[in-house]
Amino acid sequence: MDILQHITALREELRKHNYNYYVLDNPTISDYDFDMKLKELQELEAKYPEYYDSSSPTLRVGGAVTKNFETVAHEYRMYSLDNSYSKEDLLDWEARIKKLVDGDISYTCELKYDGASISLTYEDGKLQKAVTRGDGFQGDDVTTNIKTIKSVPLQLNGDYPPKFDIRGEIVLPFEGFNKMNEERIEIGEEPYRNPRNTASGSLKLQDSAEVAKRPLECLLYTVIGPNLDIATQYECLDKARSWGFKVPNTAHLANSIEEVLEFIGYWDTKRFELPYETDGVVIKVNDLYHQEELGYTAKAPRWAIAYKFKAEQVSTRLNSITYQVGRTGAITPVANLDPVELAGTIVKRASLHNADQIEKLDIRVGDEVFVEKGGEIIPKIIAVDLSKRPIDSQATQYITHCPECDTELVRQEGEAQHYCPNYNGCKPQIIGRIQHYISRKAMDIEGMGGETVALLVNGGLIDNYSDLYELTKEQILPLERMADKSADNLLNGIEASKQIPFERVLYALGIRYVGETVAKKLAKHYKSIDNLKAASLEDLVNVDEIGVKIAESVLAFFEDGANINIVERLKNFGVQLEISAEKLAEQTDKLKNLTFVVSGVFETVSRDELKKLIEDNGGKVSSSISSKTSYLVAGDKMGPSKRTKAEQLNLAIISESEFLQMVM
Ligand code: AMP
Ligand code: ZN
Q: What's the pLDDT score for residue 376?
A: 54
Angle of the 31-47 helix axis to the 3-18 helix axis, nearest 10: 140
State how far the Cα of 242 lies from the Cα of 230, in Å rounded to an integer.
Answer: 13
- Answer yes or no: is pLDDT of 649 > 60: yes
554, 511 Cβ separation under 8 angstroms: yes
Q: Which residue has the higher pLDDT, 526 or 272?
A: 526
Pairing label, strands 116-123, 620-622: unpaired
Nearest to 493 by CA among 430, 442, 455, 568: 442
Q: Is 303 in the pocket of ligand 1 (CB under 6 A)?
A: no
pTM: 0.63
- Which residue in the list 16, 39, 112, 129 is annotated as catalytic? 112
Q: What's the pLDDT score for residue 66?
A: 82
Ligand 2 centroid distance, CA of 536 (Å)? 29
Atom of ligand 1 nearest to the CA of 110: 19
Q: What's the pLDDT score for residue 328?
A: 85
Tens of pLDDT, residue by residue over 104-137, are 999 999 999 999 999 999 999 999 999 999 999 9
Tens of pLDDT, residue by residue over 83-94, are 998 999 999 999
Atom of ligand 1 nearest to the CA of 284: 20
Pocket test for ligand 1, best of 118, 137, 221, 253 (most atoms within 8 A of CB): 221
Tens of pLDDT, residue by residue over 221-271, are 999 998 899 999 999 999 999 999 999 999 999 999 999 999 999 998 888
Active site (annotated) includes residue 310: no
What's the mean pLDDT in 401-422? 91
Pairing label, strands 368-372, 380-384: antiparallel
Ligand nearest to the CA of 77: 1
> CA 527: distance to chain centroid?
30
What's the mean pLDDT in 538-565? 91
State how far the Cα of 568 lies from the Cα of 529, in Å rounded to an integer.
Answer: 10
380, 312 Cβ separation under 8 angstroms: no
State how far the Cα of 398 lies from the Cα of 49, in Å rounded to an integer.
Answer: 59
Q: What's the pLDDT score for residue 41?
A: 92
> What percentage of the chain carries pLDDT values higher than 70?
98
- Answer yes or no: is pLDDT of 487 > 80: yes
| Amino acid letter, residue 168 | G
> CA 371: distance to chain centroid?
24
Element containing residue 454 per DSSP (H, E): helix 450-458
Q: What's the pLDDT score for residue 302?
A: 96
Ligand 1 centroid distance, CA of 221 (Å)? 9
Q: Is 133 in the pocket of ligand 1 (CB under 6 A)?
A: yes
Pairing label, strands 126-132, 368-372: unpaired
> CA 349: distance to chain centroid?
24
Instruction: Count other C-beta atoms under 10 Å from residue 394's C-beta.
Output: 9
- Answer yes or no: is pLDDT of 344 > 70: no
Q: What's the pLDDT score for residue 375?
A: 52
Ligand nearest to the CA of 170: 1
State how far the Cα of 144 lies from the Cα of 66, in Å rounded to an integer.
Answer: 8
Q: How sure is the predictor about 200, in pLDDT bands with cuts at 50, 70 and 90?
A: very high
Q: Is 180 in the pocket of ligand 1 (CB under 6 A)?
A: no
- Give the residues across from 591 on adjacent strands: none
Element containing residue 280 per DSSP (H, E): strand 278-285
Q: Is 113 in the pocket of ligand 1 (CB under 6 A)?
A: yes
Handedness of CA 562, 567, 568, 573 (dihedral sign): positive
Q: Is 200 in the pocket of ligand 1 (CB under 6 A)?
A: no
State how far the Cα of 113 lies from the Cα of 171, in Å rounded to an integer.
Answer: 7
Nearest to 594 by CA among 520, 663, 546: 663
> What percentage of the chain carries pLDDT values higher than 90?
57
Could you say which DSSP state residue 150 is in?
T
Output phi, psi for 77, to 5 deg. Answer: -60, 145
Count of residues in the chain: 664
Tens of pLDDT, residue by residue over 168-177, are 999 999 888 9
Q: What's the pLDDT score for residue 625?
A: 84
Q: What's the pLDDT score for residue 377?
A: 60
Average pLDDT, the chain: 90
Q: How sure is the predictor about 29, in pLDDT bands with cuts at 50, 70 and 90?
A: confident
Ligand 1 centroid distance, CA of 82 (Å)? 10
In our burial notation (b when 16+ CB lie closer than 10 A, e otherwise), range 222-260 reads bbbbeeeebebbbbbbebbbebbbbbbebbbbbeebeeb
- Answer yes or no: is pLDDT of 495 > 90: yes
Tens of pLDDT, residue by residue over 466-481, are 999 999 999 999 888 8
Q: What's the pLDDT score for residue 76?
A: 94
Q: What's the pLDDT score for residue 585?
A: 67
Atom of ligand 1 nearest to the CA of 118: 12
Q: How sure is the predictor about 559, in pLDDT bands with cuts at 50, 70 and 90?
A: very high
Q: What's the pLDDT score for residue 384?
A: 93
Ligand 1 centroid distance, CA of 112 (Å)? 6
CA geometry: angle at 640 spanning 639 and 644, to 5°?
A: 125
- Answer yes or no: is pLDDT of 590 > 90: no
